[in-house]
Structure 1
Amino acid sequence: MKNIVFLIFAFATICLSAQSTFEKNYGDPSVIEEGQDVVQTSDGGFLAACFKMSDVFLLKTDADGIEQWNKTFDLDYPVQVTCIEKTSDGGYIIGGYSGTYETDFDFFLMKLDAACDSVWTKTFGTTVKDKAYAVKQTADGGFALAGTTETTDVNYNGWMVKTDASGNQQWAQTFGGSSYDYVYDMTLTTDGGFLCCGSTSSYAGGTGAFFIKLNSSGVEQWHKRYGGETAGAGYAFGIDNTFDNGFIATGMHGSFYLLRLDGNGDTLWTKNPSVDFFLTGIDVVQTTGGYVVAGYETTYEPEGFDVVLRKYDESGTKLWSKNFSGDNSGYVTRMIGTSDNGFAVTGKYEYLDGGSVENTNIYLIKTDENGEGCFGYLTGLQEICMVTVDNATGKNKVIWTPEEPASAYNIYKLTTEGYEVIGTVNATELSEYVDMTSNPGTASDRYKVSIIDTCGNETLTGDYHKTIHLNVSPGVPSGFALTWEHYEGFTFTKYRIFRGTAAGGLVQIDSTLSSNFTYTDTTSLTGALYYQVAAVKPVPCYSSSTGAKDVGGPFSQSVSNLEDNGVGGNVDELSSDKYNISIYPNPASNESQISYKLMTPSQVNIELVSITSKTVLSVHYDKKIPGTYTEKLNLEKLEQGSYFLRITIENKTINRKIEIIR
């Protein structure tokens, strides 16, 4: 349909060393959106004319297929857009039809400026149904719209409207026979006229591919009909000019159909292989060394359609064929040649659910000159299974079950600057990530995961998961009070409570509802005790990797940090000994002091917290060189009672209970 222009240079935004290729779908999951036609813009990007809820809808992308903006023209009447062309003034012309089956249809024409703002809109019609499928700017700056008109309740004919540059009608012409004649595409001819293609049943035989040549005034000069006598009905859906002033057309005639015509419409050759019974040609362009066809092929696993690009040489011999759409269904409406000798295809992308169409989006594919490119089929987001504390390292572990084809995954963590990438996991590795910068005993953290496809494209992140942060303090009047921050990320009904007399030997002692964030252990045990709480995931999940048989898991609960009761023990006994930590006096009245020893330069944070984990005194936060230090604790303004001195040295946290007495 579209005349391909071969350039010896590229647009400034297109890399000279490599072609930009992509396969993307766009749209709102709540409405049906379909790409109808596409043009390449002066910046190397693409502008797609689309159908969306009976409005004129435009989608603009850059050269890499990244959406830059979209625009809806909400007119006073419903419009079905079918075609778009660039105009000589740097703007665009859109064609289609307006109206409904109840009110009949009219040809629709809209002129846009270079900024895609509407300059004018026009409608043209008879008293019946008129639908335009192709638009061209003519040599005099005007426009030609071609399509089909309903001449009677049972007959249709081709119809063309010619306008001046302002969209004022200059003439209209009906053409065809006495039965069904449909026009699906049109191209300009070297003598200033037009060649339309479609289907007809007006002439001898059944329905056949139809070609009709009009002069610059819309007067018929000749018509041709091919196929229809055998092997099913014939249709020509797309046409383009060839370098020798002939034509190339595609469609179907029982199976895939490709016709090479000379300037008089006589066939030089046709290709109608029976092995391509499920393939329909929709559009075709002349290219270096032959022709490229875009079409769709019926598939059954899954049930739907694949978009197909196929290259033929000048004699009609197939050179290559490429299929697109992945695990869903794709349908092509138009194709263009691009400035880098590649191809751009638009249409609709259907998400399938059990064989039924769940949603339809705008589909845009850009390939190189061989139909190749870097294509991904990412249709969703990567959700996290859970974040838990890793037994081996004591650090936060992020776990997810891969749902999409991927080359890698980015792990994001919430910081003071927002979510930032903290690591990448290759798809060939288990889908787990241990955050070695985390300190579960200090605060809870939030994580997200995104997918990187084989083209290097990255999806948006899935929902965040927030870890459990546990504190333990003396209970009132006895025992120990556990308080924690709620786990966020999956729905669950209960927490498990774990306790042990050693850091490595905890057992479950109880459970509580997920709506509770506190628990009092009324144990009579004395000495050092250790605690953890865990959010119980109703359905366990597994980590996995691409091409690997091994999986990780099952992961059935998200576990908090390990926290001690502050009585003669601590979460990290080795760290306590390593730093020679001592508090004196303890119990204390108005003043106490803490001493510690550093063997290497370290970040030190010391604070006093209440039994409800509220910071009541910040003692120190600084980077220290190796040496022995003593920090004074001014307790005068604090009430009598039990507190915890929390010492963090380079991500190692030690809790020490301190009593204030008066």
Structure 2
Amino acid sequence: MRYIVITCCFLFLACVLQAQVRWAKTFAGPNDDACQVRQTPDGGFILLGSAGFSNYLVRTDSLGDTLWSRKPNWADFCGLINTADGGFLLTGTTVSSIRDFVSYKLDANGDSVWAHVYLDTLDQGHYTALEMDDGGFILTGYTATIGNAYDMYVLRTDPLGDLQWRRTYGTANFDLGAMPALNRDNGFMFATTTNAGGPSEFLAVVTDDAGVVLWTRTYAAPDAIGGAVPTALADGGYLICGWIAGNGYDSYLIRTDSVGNPLWARSYGGAGFETRTSRGAIEDLNGGFTFVTSTDLSYGPGTDRDMMLVRVDDAGNLTRQVRVGGLAEDMPRYFEQTRDGSYILLGYTLSHVPNWKEIYLVRIDSVGCGERFFDLGIAQWDTICGGDTLWLDAGSGFSSYLWSNGAVSQRLAVTVADTYYVAAVDSNGCLYYSSLVFVEAKPGPSFNLVNQGNFLVNFYGAPGNALSWSWDFGDGQIDSLKNPVHVFPGAGTYVVCLRTEIAGCGTQSVCDTLVLAGLGLPATRTDLGSVRFDARANRLLVQANDLEGRTKFVLLDAAGRRVKEYLLEANTELWVNTQGYAGGVYFYWLEGRDHTWQVGKVFIVN
């Protein structure tokens, strides 16, 4: 018997107190999505999303209750920022086959102030905007180029939205689009993901306030697939947040100095789908950095995608995670840190009303350890073979354990197929969830039998997932069928063995002892055919009655030893020469195509 011992590997340090979701609100429905959210000067919030095919702008108080809403539908808006005069700027693109950037200025009550369309000859997609110190704006996204590729695309306007300049940045490759960061010199970092047909990389371009390039860097990342979002840090450096493939999808952070030299790079996530929001990462008011990601089927009892707030220290070490979600999909789109250090998350939810997709706004407190997560140090999918035990170990240092099957010990012996995880609580009351392990159990060889008579035995119950079956009946005969029917030569003790080959488990064997006593006859049919002895010709006439299938004929002597065996075609007869046979009683059986039998006896005279 094989034993597999797995000990967990913790990803996180100790936490302090359980985190709390301060409140959560839903808006609109039934087929809505979210774009961006901002905290307003009065402590409330302004959020932008979509309600069906309409843009949906909502202003709330500090508790998330609606103050007013608007549906500006003359363009496709998904960018939203506060403006210094207390109003708002919506940005997006025209609704047309060749899209152009648009900007739409609103006052504090959501009423129109001005609007602009920035015409171009190529198709554009919009991401977000920034307000500058002079009251002007930067709009960023991507533009099509000659040759069906894309470049980063940036517009600069004055405070009234009039165009001052436009620029493109990128390589000769496919560059997904610009996400901006305003640095302490009033210049910019624009970041994206670039692909030249080989491995994708993160691309960063730093410019002065007029958009003139100062330097450009690329950063290799394992299977980079998500557009990079930059953040300018107080020390003059940058933090680039994207996501990568390989272990499902994981969020990915790169920290650089002021001239783009990488200081560290880290990935975050389990075996599921973890991708950052369009906000990227922020420099947290409480220290370190924070980003929000999706997560699914990686840790604990999750059943679909959830929102997850992740906080790391200055070196990228995880310090806090808070998961928010229900039984269905809850997907984050954007987040902000509020002035009191708490967090506002915006996305959509399907958990509150079945098949009803609503905009979802959640506020999370600034302190608390939340749900902590750790890996069990084992692949998400594992297999146990017949007779094996898989040991899962949650590690020491917890005050209590609760496994998904109800066990309360530190270690769990797994012998059956299921999905396993453990919820553990430390001495501070912090809750930890382990990674999920999906265990498939492949049964070892076993079999059952039905003794149809002392010499006729039907074997069944061999594992159906085997690649092959090899029977040894202990009488010198073998078979390779899954469920064979075998006639033994007579009474006696036989050791019957089954050897199977199962993918991932190799070859395994099992044996059982079969005792056959006496001759006995199995229960019979009478309509499979007939057998009679012709004394004048010294032969047997065997007649098969089946009009469609073959019939097997077996002749045995009085001791149950097999004498002859034939296979008759449908509705045929057979003559068996019996010259040289000892006179006396013989037994026979006919086996039909449905494995039913007709057994009888015949007297041969010689």
Normalised to the residue count of structure 1, the TM-score between the two structures is 0.49
User: Structure 1 residues 319, 373: closer, same or farther in 2, change over 3 A?
Assistant: closer
Answer whether contact 1:227 1:253 (CA < 8 A) is retained.
no
Pairing 1:62-141 to 2, within 5 Å after superposition: 62-75=61-74, 79-100=75-96, 103-141=97-135
Residue 90 of structure 1: how far off its partner (Å): 1.2
The corresponding residue for 1:219 is 212
User: Structure 1 residues 111, 217: closer, same or farther in 2, change over 3 A?
Assistant: same
Pairing 1:137-148 to 2, within 5 Å after superposition: 137-148=131-142
* Residue identity matched to 2:282: V
Identity of aligned residues (%): 26
Answer whether contact 2:190 2:205 (CA < 8 A) is retained.
yes
Pairing 1:564-579 to 2, within 5 Å after superposition: none
- Deviations 1:518-560 (CA, angstroms, capped at 9, x unpaired): xxxxxxxxxxxxxxxxxxxxxxxxxxxxxxxxxxxxxxxxxxx
Answer whether contact 1:93 1:109 (CA < 8 A) is retained.
yes
Report the secondary structure of 1:213's partner residue: strand
2:27 aligned with 1:47, yes or no?
no
Pairing 1:105-504 to 2, within 5 Å after superposition: 105-152=99-146, 154-202=148-196, 205-228=198-221, 231-254=222-245, 255-273=250-268, 275=270, 278-282=273-277, 283-287=280-284, 288-299=286-297, 304-351=304-351, 358-370=355-367
In the alignment, the residues of structure 2 paired with residue 371 and residue 96 of structure 1 have an alpha-carbon distance, to the nearest angstrom, of: 37
In the alignment, the residues of structure 2 paired with residue 275 and residue 55 of structure 1 have an alpha-carbon distance, to the nearest angstrom, of: 36
User: Structure 1 residues 194, 321: closer, same or farther in 2, change over 3 A?
Assistant: same
In the alignment, the residues of structure 1 paired with residue 349 and residue 206 of structure 2 have an alpha-carbon distance, to the nearest angstrom, of: 35
Report the secondary structure of 1:105's partner residue: coil
Answer whether contact 2:304 2:327 (CA < 8 A) is retained.
no
In the alignment, the residues of structure 1 paired with residue 95 and residue 195 of structure 2 have an alpha-carbon distance, to the nearest angstrom, of: 27
User: Structure 1 residues 105, 219: closer, same or farther in 2, change over 3 A?
Assistant: same
Residue 153 of structure 1: how far off its partner (Å): 5.2
Residue 243 of structure 1: how far off its partner (Å): 2.0
Answer whether contact 1:39 1:86 (CA < 8 A) is retained.
yes
Residue 276 of structure 1: how far off its partner (Å): 5.8
* Residue identity matched to 1:252: W
User: Structure 1 residues 71, 61: closer, same or farther in 2, change over 3 A?
Assistant: same
Residue 331 of structure 1: how far off its partner (Å): 1.5
- Deviations 1:383-411 (CA, angstroms, capped at 9, x unpaired): xxxxxxxxxxxxxxxxxxxxxxxxxxxxx
Residue 341 of structure 1: how far off its partner (Å): 0.6
* Residue identity matched to 1:267: P
Answer whether contact 2:326 2:351 (CA < 8 A) is retained.
no
Answer whether contact 1:239 1:285 (CA < 8 A) is retained.
no
Answer whether contact 1:22 1:373 (CA < 8 A) is retained.
no
User: Structure 1 residues 273, 343: closer, same or farther in 2, change over 3 A?
Assistant: closer
Residue 205 of structure 1: how far off its partner (Å): 4.6
Answer whether contact 1:20 1:64 (CA < 8 A) is retained.
no
User: Structure 1 residues 124, 352: closer, same or farther in 2, change over 3 A?
Assistant: same
User: Structure 1 residues 44, 295: closer, same or farther in 2, change over 3 A?
Assistant: same
User: Structure 1 residues 360, 216: closer, same or farther in 2, change over 3 A?
Assistant: same
Report the secondary structure of 1:73's partner residue: coil
In the alignment, the residues of structure 1 paired with residue 151 and residue 359 of structure 2 have an alpha-carbon distance, to the nearest angstrom, of: 30
* Residue identity matched to 2:88: Y
Residue 128 of structure 1: how far off its partner (Å): 2.4
Answer whether contact 1:208 1:235 (CA < 8 A) is retained.
no
Identify the structure with bigger relative contact order (alpha carbons < 8 Å, sequence gap 6+): 2
Answer whether contact 2:207 2:213 (CA < 8 A) is retained.
yes
Gapped regions of structure 1 (runs ≥ 5) = 1-17, 375-662
State the number of aligned residues.
Answer: 344
Residue 242 of structure 1: how far off its partner (Å): 1.8
Answer whether contact 1:252 1:280 (CA < 8 A) is retained.
yes
Report the secondary structure of 2:110's partner residue: coil
In the alignment, the residues of structure 2 paired with residue 37 and residue 273 of structure 1 have an alpha-carbon distance, to the nearest angstrom, of: 23
In the alignment, the residues of structure 1 paired with residue 102 and residue 303 of structure 2 have an alpha-carbon distance, to the nearest angstrom, of: 35
Report the secondary structure of 1:187's partner residue: strand
2:25 aligned with 1:24, yes or no?
yes
Gapped regions of structure 2 (runs ≥ 5) = 1-18, 372-606
Report the secondary structure of 1:165's partner residue: coil
- Deviations 1:90-145 (CA, angstroms, capped at 9, x unpaired): 11112222224xx2211121111122211111122422221111100112211110
Instruction: Give the number of the structure whose alpha-carbon radius of gyration is greater.
Output: 2
In the alignment, the residues of structure 1 paired with residue 50 and residue 217 of structure 2 have an alpha-carbon distance, to the nearest angstrom, of: 32
In the alignment, the residues of structure 2 paired with residue 372 and residue 120 of structure 1 have an alpha-carbon distance, to the nearest angstrom, of: 45
In the alignment, the residues of structure 2 paired with residue 23 and residue 373 of structure 1 have an alpha-carbon distance, to the nearest angstrom, of: 16
Answer whether contact 1:367 1:373 (CA < 8 A) is retained.
no
* Residue identity matched to 1:265: G
Report the secondary structure of 1:166's partner residue: coil
* Residue identity matched to 2:29: D
Answer whether contact 1:145 1:162 (CA < 8 A) is retained.
yes
In the alignment, the residues of structure 2 paired with residue 274 and residue 57 of structure 1 have an alpha-carbon distance, to the nearest angstrom, of: 32
In the alignment, the residues of structure 2 paired with residue 306 and residue 269 of structure 1 have an alpha-carbon distance, to the nearest angstrom, of: 27
Normalised to the residue count of structure 2, the TM-score between the two structures is 0.53
User: Structure 1 residues 303, 138: closer, same or farther in 2, change over 3 A?
Assistant: same
Answer whether contact 2:272 2:296 (CA < 8 A) is retained.
no
Answer whether contact 1:192 1:216 (CA < 8 A) is retained.
yes
Report the secondary structure of 2:339's partner residue: coil
Residue 275 of structure 1: how far off its partner (Å): 3.8
In the alignment, the residues of structure 2 paired with residue 302 and residue 245 of structure 1 have an alpha-carbon distance, to the nearest angstrom, of: 39
The corresponding residue for 1:489 is none
* Residue identity matched to 2:293: G
User: Structure 1 residues 19, 120: closer, same or farther in 2, change over 3 A?
Assistant: farther
Residue 251 of structure 1: how far off its partner (Å): 1.6
The corresponding residue for 2:562 is none
Answer whether contact 1:198 1:211 (CA < 8 A) is retained.
yes
- Deviations 1:357-415 (CA, angstroms, capped at 9, x unpaired): 823211111111136799xxxxxxxxxxxxxxxxxxxxxxxxxxxxxxxxxxxxxxxxx
Residue 269 of structure 1: how far off its partner (Å): 0.7
* Residue identity matched to 2:229: G
Answer whether contact 1:23 1:364 (CA < 8 A) is retained.
yes
